[in-house]
């Protein structure tokens, strides 16, 4: 059931979490499917509802740095990043505190956790709940992430009792996941915080910001497989449209045979990458829910948040068949 974000509904969400239920909540990135991070049974419900493989660990959400302290060891650089980017779309991988009562079910056997402090409604829920909350994106595993309440309802339907409507997510893409290793900061997943933002923040520390080598050991197990995939086939970096394709356009680029498009949606008429990120998942699902079987996507500049957009699009175009 979708409900508005009035206090009584926030309180109801907290109550359900206390009872070991799962609820869907908005964040600034995408909607999350939330459960008590210390309750193994509740966490099992998440994996079941999403049909998520158990080897894919969940992000631990806290309200602030002080709360994070109880669950992981925070080095100086990671703490600095938290001060700059929290509350916001940055998840940091850190060693788990042995005394932490985070359920092993959420961690896929790792001795690290990815931790972040989300904004707004989700943050209020954590504060009222008083414990950390795990939350993957509120969609069936491998499908397009939801950036509005209706998209959660469409993906998970009767598997979640309560969906709090917080409108459209302001960023529209998941958090960036980073990990500090040997004075180098590795980006494990591109997202709402760009590489440039991280570089600028860390300039005075002489910390290099690197993108994880695709062939390196998979650090974020959910990273390399097909993901964010619509049912339709997705063709990227197109300059020409084929028969029977819808067009996901960007800016004012000229696309040959554009008039053949079954449908056209433009991620950003003005070529604004943040606007494109905001629209990406929503537009992909609108096209996918129409009769369209093939989606052709115009080139997106690979700068700033464009890197995260291209990462999602690339994985949307890979099919596990």
Residues that bind Mg ion (CB under 5 A): 137
Is the CB of residue 10 less than 8 Å from the CB of residue 166?
Answer: no
Ordered alpha helix ranges (H), the chain: 7-18, 40-50, 65-68, 76-85, 120-129, 149-156, 195-202, 273-289, 306-317
Q: How far apart are CA 277 and CA 282, in angstroms?
A: 10
Give yes or no for residue 32 binding ligand TXA (CB under 6 A).
yes
Q: How far apart are CA 105 and CA 43, in angstroms?
A: 7
Considering CB distances under 5 to 8 angstroms, the limit depending on partner class, which of ligand TXA, Mg ion, none binds residue 219? Answer: ligand TXA
Give yes or no for residue 119 binding ligand TXA (CB under 6 A).
no
Considering CB distances under 5 to 8 angstroms, the limit depending on partner class, which of Mg ion, ligand TXA, none binds residue 175? Answer: ligand TXA
Q: How far is the CB of 136 from Mg ion (least distance, A)?
A: 5
Give yes or no for residue 57 binding ligand TXA (CB under 6 A).
yes
Cβ proximity to Mg ion, 53 vs 130, nearer residue: 53
* DSSP 3-state percent helix, strand, coil across the chain (nearest 5): 30, 20, 50
Instruction: Count the residues of the shown chain that bind ligand TXA, applying the rule CB under 6 A.
Output: 29
What binding mask, one character per residue, do residues 144-183 give for ligand TXA by CB under 6 A, x or -?
Answer: ------------------------------xx-x------
Give yes or no for residue 113 binding ligand TXA (CB under 6 A).
yes
Give the list of residues 6+ apart from residue 63 with CB closer than 8 angstroms, or none: 87, 117, 123, 126, 127
Give yes or no for residue 22 binding ligand TXA (CB under 6 A).
no
Find the residue with minimal CB distance to Mg ion. Answer: 137
What CA–CA distances, in Å, run from 9 to 23, 94, 165, 166? 11, 33, 10, 11
Residue from 63, 137, 268, 279 in contact with ligand TXA (CB under 6 A): 137
């Amino acid at each position: 059931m979708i409900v508005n974000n009035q206090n009584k509904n926030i309180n109801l969400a907290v109550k359900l979490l206390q009872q070991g239920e799962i609820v869907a909540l908005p964040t600034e990135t995408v909607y999350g499917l939330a459960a008590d991070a210390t309750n193994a049974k509740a966490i099992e419900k998440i994996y079941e509802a999403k049909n998520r493989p158990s080897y894919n660990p969940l992000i631990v959400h806290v309200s602030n740095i002080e709360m994070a302290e109880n669950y992981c060891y925070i080095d100086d650089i990671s703490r600095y990043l938290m001060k700059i980017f929290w509350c916001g779309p940055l998840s940091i991988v850190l060693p788990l505190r042995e005394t932490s009562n985070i359920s092993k079910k959420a961690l896929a056997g790792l001795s690290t956790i990815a931790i972040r402090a989300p904004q707004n409604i989700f943050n209020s829920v954590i504060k009222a709940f008083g414990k950390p909350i795990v939350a993957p994106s509120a969609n069936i595993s491998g499908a397009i992430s939801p950036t509005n309440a209706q998209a959660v309802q469409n993906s998970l339907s009767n598997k979640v009792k309560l969906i709090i409507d917080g409108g459209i997510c302001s960023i529209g893409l998941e958090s960036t996941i980073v990990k500090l290793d040997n004075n180098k900061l590795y980006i494990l997943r591109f997202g709402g915080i760009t590489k440039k933002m991280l570089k600028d923040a860390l300039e005075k520390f002489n910390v290099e910001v690197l993108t994880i080598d695709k062939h390196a050991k998979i650090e974020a197990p959910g990273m390399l497989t097909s993901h964010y995939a619509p049912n339709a086939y997705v063709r990227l970096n197109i300059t020409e449209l084929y028969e029977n394709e819808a067009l996901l356009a960007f800016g004012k680029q000229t696309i040959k045979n554009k008039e053949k498009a079954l449908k056209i949606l433009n991620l950003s008429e003005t070529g604004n990458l943040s606007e494109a990120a905001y629209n990406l998942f929503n537009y992909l699902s609108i096209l996918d829910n129409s009769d369209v079987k093939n989606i052709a996507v115009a080139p997106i500049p690979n700068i700033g948040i464009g890197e995260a957009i291209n990462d999602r699009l690339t994985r949307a175009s890979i099919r596990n068949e």
